[in-house]
C-alpha cells in the first residue's frame, strides 16, 4: 500500500459522530449508584451583609441530606480561600471563601449548599432557606470605583487591586515630536463566555481507599487535581479528576470553582456521590466573565502615518474576587498593544479594579483581543485624522518581514512573521479599489457601505514556564501496544479543538500506522501523566510538540531494534514513508507494529535495550508563538434603522503549517463568530444595583446562525522555530482578529456622518442616533 | 430544567380537557407547545399545580380554507403555518410572521393558539390578527363564544380567556395584499417592532388598510390614524408613504429597553410600518 501523509489532510473530525448523534458522555450523563444532587442558594443582592441564615426549612424539606453554610464548613475544618495563581507584586487579595461568610460581594454569590436525593428536592430546599440581608452600597462602574467609595469589599478601603505601570522607549520625546496626537476612549465591554455545556461536576468519595474522583467539565484536569488535593488536605495520589466530554470552555473552565471544591468536600463528608449541574441562569451569574476594560489611548503619529508612541490608561474590571487568573488577563493588553507595528515607545498605567460583579478571567483571547482592538482602532483613527488610507498607515508601520525574530518594546520576541504577506493575500481576495468605487456610488443613493481591516498578531502557545503563572510545558506518552495499535496519552485536555483527530494524523503519519489504530486519551488524571491542559491556544503548539518529541523517542528505539535485526548500524536505518528501512534499500523494511511486537516479546533485542516500545516526553516552550493575519469585513449599515449587515468577511490567517485545514477553518469560523458577537451584539450588563440585566439568552445576544455568514478564509504559512512542528496556535486568532475588522468597517460606513468612534456592541440604535445627529446638524464624535 | 412539582394529565378531546381543568382546579395550566410556559416553569416564575396537555387534541389543529375564509386551529404549529402554500398565496401576512418566528426548533413545537393565549406584548401573531380583523373562537364546557382581536387582548400577558376557557381557533378572510415586517430582538428574536399590513388596492393606490403593530406598547394595537392616512396613497411613493406612517406609534405608551429606547422604537415603528405596507402593496 502506498504511503500517504495525513499532515495537511482534510480528515473529518473523529470526535464528531459521537457528538452529533448524542452518544458522547458529558458529566451529566455519568450515573452512579446512590447519587445525590446539590443546589446552591445564591445572593439576589450584589453587596450586602448577611444578618442571618435560617436553614431550618431546608433541613426539614423532603429528601434533604445536608445543608451547609460557611459556618458549617469552618466548623468541619474547611476554612480556605479559593486560590489565585496569578500574582502581581503588591496586589490586594481579598479572601475568597467557597461560600459567602458575612458579606456578599456580587449577585449570584453562593451562600448555602444543599445536598438532596434529587435535583428537584435540592432546589425546593434551596427555596426554603431564608437569608436576612442588610444591603450595602454597590459599586459597578470601574471609573467611579477607583475614585473612592463605596468599596466592593467594605473593609478593604480601596477598590484598586493593583496599579501596574509600564514605560518603555522615549514616550515623552515621541509625543513632543509628533505631528498629530490622536486620543480615544475605548470600551471593551464585558462578555459572558456561554459554553453550550455549563459548569457540571460529579464527586465520588470512595470510603475504602479514602480516595476521591471528581468528574468536571474542565479545561485543566491535572491543575484542578493539584488544587483540590491541597484545599482538601488529601494526598494528590488519592484524587482523580476526569474531564469527560466537555461542551466548550472558552477559558471559563480554565478555573477552579468553589462549587467543585464543595461538591468534592461534601461527598467525603457524606460518603456519597454528589452531582451538581448548574442552570443556565447560574452560569450567567457565576461562571467567570471576560473582557471589561476601559482604555484611554493616545497615539503619537507623524504626517506620513508612522505611529511613534502609545500612551494608555487601562482599567480592568476584575469583578468581586480574584479567580485563578483574574489579575493576569489584562496584563496581556499593554504587552500586545504594539500589534504588528514598529512602535518603539509605550507607556501604560494598568489598573485592576474590584466591583460588585462576577469576576472576569480568561475568555477566548484573554487580554489579547483587547490589545488588538486598541491598536487596530487607533491605526484607523490615525489614518482618519491624517486623511490617509488605513491600509497605507498599516503598511508604513509594519515590522519588516526580514526582521524576525523581532524583539518588541514590551519585551516579547515575535518568533516569525510576514504581515505584508498576509495583507497582500487578503487583497488578492478583496478588490479594494472596486469596493471603494462601489461604496462611493452607494453613498450617492443613500446606502452606507463600509470596509474594515484588521492586521493582527497575537501571543499564544502558552508558554515558557518562567513567564507563566502555572507550568507552561506539556506532555505526551505514546505506547505501541502488542498488536500494533498506538495509544497516546496527552497532557492537554481538548474540549472542541479536535486533537483526537490532529494528533492521530501526526502519529499515523510519523509511525506509519492506520489512523484508526491510533487512540488519543486525555482528560483523566489516572490514565494520563501530568499535563497542564488546554488554554491559551497551546494544545498543538505545546502538547503537539510534546507528542512530536515522544514520536522521536519511539522512532529512535524502533530504529535501534530494526538495526539489530538487520545487523546494521542504527545510523544506516531510518523512518521513511512510515516504515523503518535501511537507507537507500526500500525493499528491506519493518513496520512500527512489527518492531513493536518484537519489543513486546522481548527476544532478540539489542543488548542493554529495555523491552517495550513506549515513551513519555515533555516539551518546554522556549518562547511563545505569534500567529498573525489580515481580516477584512464589508458591511452595509441601513440608514433608516442602523442595522448592520455583514456582506462579506474575508480572513487570511497564518498559524504556520496546517495539520488539518478543516479544523483550522473551524477554529477560525468559531472565533470570527464570537468576534462578530462582541462587535455587534453581546454585552454583559449590570445595572447600578449590580443586577445582571442580560442574564438569559432572551437578553444576551450571542450570534445565531442566521446572524452570521459564510466566511471566506485563506492562509499563508510562516513556520516558527519555537517548537519542532513549526506550528502556532489558532484557537483564539479568529476572535482576536475579527473584532476590530467589524468595528472599523462600521465606522468606515458611517464616515459620511462624521462619526469617528462608537463603542461596542454596535447596536442599531447607537448607529441610528449617530446618523440622526448628523442629519439634524449636530456635531458628533 | 428543575421546576416545582406538578401533576400532569393528557387530554384526548376538548371535553376531556375541560373535565381535567375542573378536576385540577385553579392551579392547572394548559400545555400546548410549551414554548412560553415551560421556560417560565424552568425559572420557577410559573409554578402550576397541574399541566393539562392538550397538544394531542386533533380537532384543535389544522388549516382550513374555503376559498374566502381561513379557519385555523389553535394547536396548529408555527412550522405548519410557515409551510402552507394556501397561506402564502391568500394570507401572506400570517405565513410571513410564522416564517420569522423563533427558530426551526421553536416553530416545530410552538403553536398559534399558545402564542396568542400567552398574551405576550411582543407576540407576532397578535399584530397579524389585528390586521386580519380575525375572529377568535373561545371554547369552554358551556359552549363557544366569539371574540375580536381587540377584545381578546386585554393587556400585558392578559387575555379575555376566563377560567375553564381555551382558544379553539381563529378565522379571517383571505388577504392577498398583506405583509409582515419585523425588527427582531437579536437575542430573543421577539419583535422589537412587528407590523402587519393588510391592504385593498385600487388602481395602484391604497383603498383601505388595516395595520396591526406589536412589540411597541403594552400590547398589540391597530394604528387607526395610519390606516386613514394611507387611503389614496400610492405605496411606490416613498415620501407619501412615510408621511402616512408617521403616526404609527402615536398615542401609544412606547416601551423602552436595552435594545430600543422609546424614541428609537417609535421611529422604527414608522419605518417598519412603511416597509410592511410597501411589501403588502407589491403582492
Domains delineated in chain B: 7-53 (3.30.43.10), 64-173 (3.30.465.10), 178-282 (3.30.390.50)
Q: Is the pLDDT of residue A781 over 60?
A: no
Measured in angstroms, the CA of B263 and the nearest CA of chain A are apart by 10
pLDDT band at residue B227, thresholds of 50, 70 and 90? very high
Residue B258 has its nearest CB partner, among A39, A640, A693, at A693
Secondary structure percentages of chain A, helix, strand, coil, to 5: 30, 25, 45
The domain segmentation of chain A, as residue ranges, is 16-21+470-619, 34-195+249-362, 398-460+624-775
Amino acid A776: pLDDT: 65
A765 contacts B261? CB cut-off 8 A: yes
A768 contacts B187? CB cut-off 8 A: no
Residue A701 has its nearest CB partner, among B2, B5, B186, at B186
Residues of chain A above pLDDT 90, percent: 97
Measured in angstroms, the CA of A380 and the nearest CA of chain B are apart by 27
Measured in angstroms, the CA of A768 and the nearest CA of chain B are apart by 8
- How many beta carbons lie within 10 A of that of residue B228, not counting itself? 12
Site from A118, A699, A700, A706 to mutate, B interface, most B CB atoms within 10 angstroms: A699
Q: E strands along chain B, which residues?
A: 7-10, 28-31, 50-53, 63-65, 69-73, 135-140, 143-148, 153-155, 158-159, 165-173, 178-184, 191-202, 205-214, 221-222
| A640 in reach of chain B (CB within 8 A) | yes
**Which chain B residues have a beta carbon less than 8 Å from that of A694?**
258
Three-state SS sequence of A478-519:
EEECCCCCEEEEECCCCCCCCHHHHHHHHHHHHHCCCHHHEE
Amino acid A270: pLDDT: 98
Q: Which residue has the cell 435540592?
A: A122
Residue B187 has its nearest CB partner, among A119, A685, A697, at A697
φ, ψ dihedrals at A206, nearest 5°: -105, 105
- The count of C-alpha atoms lying within 13 angstroms of the C-alpha of A766, restricted to the half-sphere facing its C-beta, is 19
Mean pLDDT score of chain B: 96
DSSP string, A333-346: HHHHTTTTB---EE
Amino acid A245: pLDDT: 97
Amino acid A3: pLDDT: 78
**Which chain B residues have a beta carbon less than 8 Å from that of A120?**
2-5
Chain pair A-B, CB pairs under 8 angstroms: 52
| Exposure letters A512-547 (e unless 16+ CB within 10 A, then b) | bbebebbbbebbbbeebebbbbbbbbbbbbbbbbbb
Mean pLDDT score of chain A: 97
**Which chain B residues have a beta carbon less than 8 Å from that of A699?**
187-188, 258
pLDDT tens column, A193-223: 999 999 999 999 999 999 999 999 999 999 9
**Which chain B residues have a beta carbon less than 8 Å from that of A39?**
2
| A118 in reach of chain B (CB within 8 A) | no
Cα(A530)–Cα(A255) distance, rounded to whole angstroms? 17
Interface list for A 50-89 with B (CB within 8 A): none
Instruction: Classify domain A398-460+624-775 at the CATH class level.
Output: alpha beta
Amino acid A4: pLDDT: 82
- The mean per-residue pLDDT over the stretch B166-195 comes to 97
CB A327 within 8 A of CB A91: yes
| A117 in reach of chain B (CB within 8 A) | no
- The mean per-residue pLDDT over the stretch A87-97 comes to 95
B44 contacts A763? CB cut-off 8 A: no
pLDDT band at residue A777, thresholds of 50, 70 and 90? low
- Would you call A389 helix, strand, or coil by DSSP? coil
pLDDT band at residue B37, thresholds of 50, 70 and 90? very high
Residue B271 has its nearest CB partner, among A640, A680, A694, at A640
pLDDT tens column, A246-301: 999 999 999 999 999 999 999 999 999 999 999 999 999 999 999 999 999 999 99
A34-195+249-362: CATH number: 3.30.365.10
Q: Which grid cell sits at A728?
A: 502556532
- How many beta carbons lie within 10 A of that of residue B253, not counting itself? 10
Measured in angstroms, the CA of A639 and the nearest CA of chain B are apart by 11
pLDDT tens column, A153-164: 999 999 999 999
Beta-carbon contacts of A756 under 8 Å, excluding residues fewer than 6 positions away, are A184, A381, A384, A747, A781
| A693 in reach of chain B (CB within 8 A) | yes
Measured in angstroms, the CA of A281 and the nearest CA of chain B are apart by 8
B187 contacts A681? CB cut-off 8 A: yes
Residue A700 has its nearest CB partner, among B103, B187, B271, at B187
Which run of H or E residues covers position A628? Answer: strand A628-637
Are both A16-21+470-619 and A398-460+624-775 of the same fold?
yes
Q: Which residue has the cell 513519555?
A: A616
Residue B4's Cα: distance from chain center in Å?
Answer: 29
Report the complex ipTM.
0.95
Secondary structure percentages of chain B, helix, strand, coil, to 5: 35, 30, 35
- The mean per-residue pLDDT over the stretch A506-531 comes to 98
A16-21+470-619: CATH number: 3.30.365.10
Amino acid at each position: 500500500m502506498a504511503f500517504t501523509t495525513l499532515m495537511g489532510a482534510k480528515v473529518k473530525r473523529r470526535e464528531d459522530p459521537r457528538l452529533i448523534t448524542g452518544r458522547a458522555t458529558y458529566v451529566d450523563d455519568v450515573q452512579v449508584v446512590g447519587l445525590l444532587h446539590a443546589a446552591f442558594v445564591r445572593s439576589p443582592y450584589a453587596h450586602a451583609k448577611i444578618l442571618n441564615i435560617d436553614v431550618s426549612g431546608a433541613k426539614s424539606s423532603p429528601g434533604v441530606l445536608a445543608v451547609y453554610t460557611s459556618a458549617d464548613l469552618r466548623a468541619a475544618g474547611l476554612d480556605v480561600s479559593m486560590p489565585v495563581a496569578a500574582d502581581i507584586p503588591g496586589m490586594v487579595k481579598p479572601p475568597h471563601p467557597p461560600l459567602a461568610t458575612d458579606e456578599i460581594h456580587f449577585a449570584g454569590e453562593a451562600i448555602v449548599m444543599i445536598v438532596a436525593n434529587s435535583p428537584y428536592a435540592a432546589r425546593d430546599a434551596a427555596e426554603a432557606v431564608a437569608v436576612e440581608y442588610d444591603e450595602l452600597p454597590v459599586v459597578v462602574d470601574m471609573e467611579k470605583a477607583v475614585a473612592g467609595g463605596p468599596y466592593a469589599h467594605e473593609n478593604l478601603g480601596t477598590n484598586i487591586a493593583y496599579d501596574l505601570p509600564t514605560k518603555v522607549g522615549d514616550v515623552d520625546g515621541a509625543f513632543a515630536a509628533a505631528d498629530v496626537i490622536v486620543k480615544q476612549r475605548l470600551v471593551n465591554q464585558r462578555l459572558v463566555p456561554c459554553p453550550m455545556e455549563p459548569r457540571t461536576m460529579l464527586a465520588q468519595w470512595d470510603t475504602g481507599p479514602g480516595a476521591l474522583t471528581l468528574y468536571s467539565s474542565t479545561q485543566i484536569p491535572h491543575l484542578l487535581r493539584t488544587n483540590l488535593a491541597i484545599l482538601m488536605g488529601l494526598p494528590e495520589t488519592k484524587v482523580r479528576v476526569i474531564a469527560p466530554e466537555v461542551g466548550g470552555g472558552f477559558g471559563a473552565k480554565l478555573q477552579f470553582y468553589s462549587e467543585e471544591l464543595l461538591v468534592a468536600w461534601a461527598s467525603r463528608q457524606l460518603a456519597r456521590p454528589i452531582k451538581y449541574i448548574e442552570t443556565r441562569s447560574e452560569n450567567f451569574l457565576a461562571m467567570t466573565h471576560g473582557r471589561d476594560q476601559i482604555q484611554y489611548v493616545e497615539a503619537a503619529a507623524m504626517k506620513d502615518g508612522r505611529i511613534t508612541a502609545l500612551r494608555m490608561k487601562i482599567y480592568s474590571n476584575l469583578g468581586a474576587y480574584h479567580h485563578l487568573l483574574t489579575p493576569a488577563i489584562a496584563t496581556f493588553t499593554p504587552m500586545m498593544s504594539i500589534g504588528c507595528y514598529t512602535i518603539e515607545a509605550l507607556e501604560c498605567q494598568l489598573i485592576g479594579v474590584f466591583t460588585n460583579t462576577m469576576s472576569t478571567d480568561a475568555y477566548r483571547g484573554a487580554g489579547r483581543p483587547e490589545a488588538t482592538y486598541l491598536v487596530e482602532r487607533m491605526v484607523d483613527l490615525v489614518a482618519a485624522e491624517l486623511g490617509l488610507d488605513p491600509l497605507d498607515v498599516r503598511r508604513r508601520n509594519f515590522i519588516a518581514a526580514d526582521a524576525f525574530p523581532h524583539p518588541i518594546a514590551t519585551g516579547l520576541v515575535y518568533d516569525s512573521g510576514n504581515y505584508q504577506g498576509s495583507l497582500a493575500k487578503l487583497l488578492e481576495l478583496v478588490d479594494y479599489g472596486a469596493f471603494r468605487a462601489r461604496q462611493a456610488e452607494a453613498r450617492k443613493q443613500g446606502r452606507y457601505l463600509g470596509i474594515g481591516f484588521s492586521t493582527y498578531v497575537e501571543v499564544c502557545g502558552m508558554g515558557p514556564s518562567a513567564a507563566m503563572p502555572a507550568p507552561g510545558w506539556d506532555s505526551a506518552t505514546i505506547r505501541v501496544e502488542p498488536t500494533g495499535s498506538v495509544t497516546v496519552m496527552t497532557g492537554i485536555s481538548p474540549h472542541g479543538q479536535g486533537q483526537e483527530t490532529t494528533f492521530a494524523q501526526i502519529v499515523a503519519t510519523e509511525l506509519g500506522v492506520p489512523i484508526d489504530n491510533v487512540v488519543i486519551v486525555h482528560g483523566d488524571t489516572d490514565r494520563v501523566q501530568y499535563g497542564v491542559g488546554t488554554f491559551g491556544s497551546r494544545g498543538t503548539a505545546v502538547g503537539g510538540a510534546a507528542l512530536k518529541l515522544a514520536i522521536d523517542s519511539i522512532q529512535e528505539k524502533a530504529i535501534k531494534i530494526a538495526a539489530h535485526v538487520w545487523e546494521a548500524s542504527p545510523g544506516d536505518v531510518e523512518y521513511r514513508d512510515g516504515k523503518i528501512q535501511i537507507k537507500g534499500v526500500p525493499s528491506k523494511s519493518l513496520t512500527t507494529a512489527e518492531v513493536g511486537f518484537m519489543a513486546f516479546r522481548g527476544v532478540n533485542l539489542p543488548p542493554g535495550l529495555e523491552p517495550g516500545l513506549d515513551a513519555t516526553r515533555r516539551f518546554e516552550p522556549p518562547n511563545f508563538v505569534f500567529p498573525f493575519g489580515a481580516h477584512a469585513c464589508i458591511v452595509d449599515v441601513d440608514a433608516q434603522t442602523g442595522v448592520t449587515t455583514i456582506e462579506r468577511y474575508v480572513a487570511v490567517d497564518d498559524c504556520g503549517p496546517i495539520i488539518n485545514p478543516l479544523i483550522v477553518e473551524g477554529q477560525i469560523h468559531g472565533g470570527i463568530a464570537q468576534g462578530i458577537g462582541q462587535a455587534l451584539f453581546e454585552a454583559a450588563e449590570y445595572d447600578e444595583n449590580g443586577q445582571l440585566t442580560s442574564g438569559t439568552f432572551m437578553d444576551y445576544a450571542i450570534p445565531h446562525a442566521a446572524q452570521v455568514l459564510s466566511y471566506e478564509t485563506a492562509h499563508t504559512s510562516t513556520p516558527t522555530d519555537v517548537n519542532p512542528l513549526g506550528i502556532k496556535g489558532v484557537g483564539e486568532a479568529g476572535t482576536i482578529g475579527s473584532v476590530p475588522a467589524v468595528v472599523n468597517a462600521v465606522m468606515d460606513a458611517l464616515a459620511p456622518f462624521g462619526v469617528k468612534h462608537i463603542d461596542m456592541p454596535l447596536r442599531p440604535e447607537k448607529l441610528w442616533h449617530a446618523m440622526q445627529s448628523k442629519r439634524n446638524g449636530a456635531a458628533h464624535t | 430544567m428543575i421546576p416545582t412539582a406538578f401533576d400532569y394529565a393528557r387530554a384526548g378531546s376538548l371535553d376531556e380537557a375541560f373535565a381535567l381543568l375542573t378536576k385540577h382546579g385553579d392551579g392547572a395550566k394548559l400545555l400546548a407547545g410549551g414554548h412560553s410556559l415551560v421556560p417560565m416553569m424552568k425559572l420557577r416564575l410559573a409554578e402550576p399545580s397541574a399541566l393539562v396537555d392538550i397538544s394531542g387534541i386533533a380537532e384543535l389543529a389544522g388549516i382550513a380554507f374555503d376559498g374566502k375564509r381561513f379557519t385555523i386551529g389553535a394547536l396548529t404549529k408555527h412550522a405548519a403555518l410557515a409551510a402552507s402554500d394556501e397561506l402564502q398565496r391568500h394570507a401572506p401576512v400570517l405565513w410571513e410572521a410564522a416564517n420569522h418566528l423563533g427558530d426551526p426548533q421553536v416553530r416545530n413545537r410552538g403553536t398559534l393558539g399558545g402564542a396568542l393565549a400567552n398574551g405576550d406584548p411582543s407576540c407576532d401573531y397578535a399584530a397579524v390578527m389585528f390586521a386580519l380583523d380575525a375572529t377568535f373562537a373561545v371554547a369552554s364546557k358551556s359552549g363557544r363564544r366569539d371574540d375580536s382581536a381587540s377584545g381578546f387582548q386585554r393587556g400585558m400577558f392578559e387575555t379575555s380567556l376566563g377560567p375553564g376557557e381555551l382558544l379553539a381557533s381563529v378565522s379571517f378572510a383571505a388577504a392577498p395584499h398583506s405583509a409582515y415586517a419585523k425588527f427582531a430582538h437579536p437575542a430573543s428574536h421577539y419583535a422589537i417592532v412587528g407590523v402587519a399590513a393588510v391592504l385593498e388596492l385600487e388602481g395602484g393606490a391604497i383603498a383601505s388598510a388595516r395595520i396591526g403593530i406589536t412589540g411597541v406598547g403594552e400590547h398589540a394595537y391597530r394604528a387607526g390614524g395610519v390606516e386613514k392616512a394611507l387611503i389614496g396613497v400610492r405605496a411606490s411613493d416613498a415620501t407619501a408613504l412615510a408621511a402616512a406612517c408617521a403616526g404609527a406609534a402615536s398615542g401609544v405608551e412606547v416601551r423602552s429597553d436595552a435594545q430600543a429606547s422609546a424614541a428609537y422604537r417609535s421611529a422604527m415603528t414608522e419605518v417598519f410600518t412603511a416597509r410592511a405596507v410597501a411589501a403588502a402593496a407589491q403582492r
